[in-house]
Amino acid sequence: MPPRSPYDDLVHPRTQKKASPEVAAERDLVVEDPSTGFVGAVVRCEKDVVHLEDRFGKVRGYPLGPGFWVDGRPVVLVRPKQAIPAGPLRSASGSTYVAGGRARVARAGRIYVEGKHDAELVEKVWGHDLRVEGVVVEPLHGVDDLPSIVRDFRPAANRRLGVLVDHLVTGSKETRIAQDVMRSGAGGQHALVVGHPFVDIWQAVKPAVVGIREWPTVPKGRPWKEGVCAALGWEDDTGYVWAQRILARVRTWTDLEPLLIGRVEELIDFVTEDA
């Protein structure tokens, strides 16, 4: 065997394999998975997973790391760095973020909303504020239950009740029930029922946020959510549509219609007002 040369371990520069560059998985970045040919834009990035949505609305999750292409070149997808704000931190509702603050012990007062989706949206945008103030939000599961809920709750000065109702417009069933509750005096001055004009809480999310021009009109007699999904060509699983196509795209109060924002703020102020 010939003696080794000091040049034997050298590698020609042209034969060296360059490491793929790291690219932050920022929202709307177009990424390709070359192993399957799936191409989609980043819709959200979690701790170790990036979610891509293709032009047909299909969403897939992938582990962060190598194996992706961006602009026709291999890259390593990494979690985006969170920018350090120059001024005070803001919560999703636009209020000043209370860093390191513990959740306050829940007040006796409550805010009721009409359903699970309503409660999830309020939590996503106003969750920080609600924990700081110690306010619990609960779903009604139907406005028909409102009169009995108010009677059983027995609002008082230190136990205020706020209620957010969908489709509170002239002549609607919801409006009639809300008026009956307020006229009955069951809650007195310590109960407040307010509402927004939207048929469903989905409509309170701005259309552009979910990638449509406007919310479609659904004929009377057809369930509204199912009609919307059919008109837009979305999946027939309304729970999936809400979680993945709508709620997942809401980031802050600016993604919501002002007619909802004002009512929620009004209820929080009412419930937390000193006796």
180-207 pLDDT tens trace:
777 766 656 888 888 899 999 999 999 9
Residues 118 and 158 in one domain: yes
In a domain, 258, yes or no: yes
What's the pLDDT band for 275 if we cut at 50, 70, 90?
very low
Q: Residues 44, 146: one domain?
A: no
Q: Looking at the domain assignment, is residue 238 inside a domain?
A: no
What is the number of domains present in the chain? 2
CATH of the domain at 27: 2.30.30
**Which residues are within 8 A (CB) of 66 and not within 5 positions of it... i.e. 6 or more apart?**
20, 74, 75, 76, 77
The residue-averaged pLDDT of 90-97 equals 76
Answer with the one of 33, 60, 78 that is the final residue of a domain.
78
Contact between residue 210 and residue 242 where contact means Cβ atoms under 8 Å apart: no
Predicted local distance difference test score (pLDDT) of residue 47 = 80
Residues 181 and 268 in one domain: yes
Q: Are 227 and 68 in contact (CB under 8 A)?
A: no
Q: Are residues 65 and 136 in the same domain?
A: no
Q: Which pLDDT does position 168 carry in this prediction?
A: 84
Report the chain's mean pLDDT, rounded to a whole number: 85
Torsion of CA 263, 268, 269, 275, to 10 degrees: 130
User: Could you tell me if 115 and 63 lie in one domain?
Assistant: no
Q: Do 71 and 126 sit in the same domain of this protein? A: no
Instruction: Classify residue 156: in a domain, yes or no.
Output: yes
Buried b (16+ CB within 10 A) or exposed e, 175-198: bebbeebbeeebbeebbbbbbbeb
Instruction: Indicate whether 29 and 115 sit together in one domain.
Output: no
Over 70: is that where the pLDDT of 274 sits?
no
Regarding predicted confidence, which is higher, 221 or 101?
221
Longest Cα pair distance anywhere in the chain, in angstroms? 104
pLDDT digits (tens, 9 = 90+) for 94-122: 777 766 666 566 788 899 998 899 999 99
Q: Report yes or no on 91 lying in a domain.
A: no
| Residue 64 CB coordination number (10 Å) | 17
Domain encompassing residue 149: 110-205+250-272
Whole-structure pTM value: 0.65
**Domain termination site, one of 37, 62, 78:** 78
Assigned domain for 65 exists: yes
Q: Is there a domain that residue 264 lies in?
A: yes
Mean pLDDT of 133-150: 85
